[in-house]
Amino acid sequence: MLTGSHRFPRQDLVAYGRPAAEVLRELAIASGVRRLMITTTRSLTQTLAAQLAKDLGELCVGVFAGIGAHSPRESVMGGAEAARKTQADLLVALGGGSVIDATKVMQLALWAGLGRPDELDAYRAGRGEGRVDAAKIPPGVRMVAIPTTLSAAEFTPFAGVTDTGRRAKEGYTHPLLAPRAVILDPALTLATPPALWFSTGLKAVDHAVEQLCNPTRAPYADALAADGLKRLAAGLPASKADPANLDARQECQFGMWLAISGAGAGRGMGASHAIGHTLGGTYGVPHGVTSGVTLPAVLRWNEGADAGRQALVAELMGADGLSASDAVRRLAQGLGLPTDLKTIGIGPDKFQAIAEHTMHDNGVRVNPRPIKGPADIVEILEIAAG
C-alpha cells in the first residue's frame, strides 16, 4: 500500500486567458490593496513593465527593475528597500524565474526586517548553527506573479537566490512564499525571446520527467506530470512553428503548471536538476539550457533502473520507438537548444569539480539509479559531453 502526502501551495487564485492588468485590478479591489509595486528586469522596463504600470494607473506606485539573472541577493535586498520606500502593499513580479524567485525572498526580507544581503544567511533552508526557522516568521506583504517564461517558479513556496560572493545558489522556503495569485496571460509571452521561451519550456519538461521517473510513486502527482508532459511536448513545437499562436502558448503554460504541481508530493527532483543547479549557480548556465543537456544524459544513465517509467515518458511525448533520452534530445534539438556540454562551454576539466559540488544537492539522493559518489556524476557528465 502506498503512503504519502501532497502539499498544495498557499495560493488563492490562478487566472488564465485574460489580460493581466484586468485581473490585477479585480484582485486589488477584492483584497483592499492600493499600492502595487512591479518587480522586473531591466530588459522589460521600457516594454511590458511600462505598459502594465500605465494600465494600472494610480494603483502602481513604482517599478523595481534591478533583478539580475539567477536572483542575486543584492537584487532581493534592493527590491525590498524599494518596497519599503514606496510603501507597497502588494508586489507584482513580472518576468521569468529569476524575477519571481527574487520577489519571493523580498517578501521574506520584508517580513523579517532584513536590510543587508548577508542577513539572509540565517534564513537559508537547511540546518546549522544560527539558522532561523523561516516558517515561523509572521507574513506581511505578499506577491502576485505574472510569468513571461515557463520556469514555473510561481507555483512553489521555494526560491533559489544566488550568493554572489560564494557563487552558489541557495534555497529559501516559507509556506507563504508562493504568490497569492498567478496570472497566466499568454499575450505577455509574445515578447519573450524564443531561446528563453523554449529553454524554460525544456525546464518544465524536466520537471515532468523527473517526477514521472521518481522511484516513489504518487498517483495524483504522476497524473499531473503526465498530462503536463503531453501538453508541453505538443505545445512547444507548435509555438515554434507559429510564434503568434496564443493557443499553443497557453497550452505550454498549462503544461508547465501541471508539470511542477506534481512536486507537491514532496518527492523531490533527480540528478538532472541537481547537476543543473551546479551548472546554473556556479557556472552561470541558464537553468532551461541545462535541462536540454543534462536530462537526456541522466535518462541514458538511469535506463537500467527505470525502463518502464522511461517508456511512459517516450509514449507521452509521442515518440514511440525512441528511448526517453532520445525523445528529449530530439525535442531540444527541434527547439534549437544545446544538447551537449561542449556547446555551453563546459569541458572535461570541470567535471570533477561539478560532480563534487553536485553531491551536496538533494536531487542526487532521489535519483532512480542510486548515485554513490562523484564518480557517478562524472559518468553522467561524460554522456552529456556528446
Give pLDDT tens digits for 278-324: 998 788 898 789 999 999 999 999 999 999 999 999 999 999 899 99
CB atoms within 10 A of CB 84: 14
Residue 219 CB-density burial (10 A; 0-12 exposed, 13-18 middle, 19+ buried): exposed
CB atoms within 10 A of CB 166: 10
Looking at the structure, tell me whether residues 208 and 357 fall in a common domain: yes
Judge whether 8 lies within some domain. no
**Domain termination residue (choose one: 187, 215, 238):** 187
* Per-residue confidence (pLDDT) for residue 170, from 0 to 100: 87
Q: Which residues in the chain belong to E strands, given as ranges? A: 13-16, 36-39, 60-64, 90-95, 142-147, 158-163, 168-173, 181-184
Looking at the structure, tell me whether residues 262 and 338 fall in a common domain: yes
Looking at the structure, tell me whether residues 175 and 244 fall in a common domain: no
CATH of the domain at 354: 1.20.1090.10
**Would you put residue 263 in left (φ > 0), alpha (ψ -120 to 50) or beta?**
alpha
Looking at the structure, tell me whether residues 168 and 264 fall in a common domain: no
Q: Which residues of the chain have pLDDT under 70?
A: 127
* Per-residue confidence (pLDDT) for residue 129, from 0 to 100: 72
Judge whether 212 lies within some domain. yes
Backbone angles phi, psi at 151, to 5 degrees: -70, -30
pLDDT tens by residue, 313-362: 999 999 989 999 999 999 999 999 999 999 999 999 999 999 999 999 99
Residue with cell 511536448: 233
Looking at the structure, tell me whether residues 198 and 182 fall in a common domain: no
Looking at the structure, tell me whether residues 69 and 147 fall in a common domain: yes
Quote the DSSP letter at residue 182.
E
Looking at the structure, tell me whether residues 56 and 78 fall in a common domain: yes
* Per-residue confidence (pLDDT) for residue 288, from 0 to 100: 84
**Domain termination residue (choose one: 132, 162, 187):** 187
Range of the domain at 124: 13-187
Looking at the structure, tell me whether residues 295 and 178 fall in a common domain: no
For the chain, helix, strand, coil in percent to 5 are: 55, 10, 35
Judge whether 3 lies within some domain. no
Judge whether 309 lies within some domain. yes
Which grid cell sits at 260? 511542477
Judge whether 67 lies within some domain. yes
**Domain termination residue (choose one: 166, 187, 208):** 187
Helix (H, G, I), strand (E, B) or coil at 337: coil
* Per-residue confidence (pLDDT) for residue 249, from 0 to 100: 98
Looking at the structure, tell me whether residues 251 and 352 fall in a common domain: yes
CB atoms within 10 A of CB 229: 26
Looking at the structure, tell me whether residues 259 and 112 fall in a common domain: no
Looking at the structure, tell me whether residues 183 and 221 fall in a common domain: no
Helix (H, G, I), strand (E, B) or coil at 167: coil
Number of domains in the chain: 2
Looking at the structure, tell me whether residues 286 and 316 fall in a common domain: yes
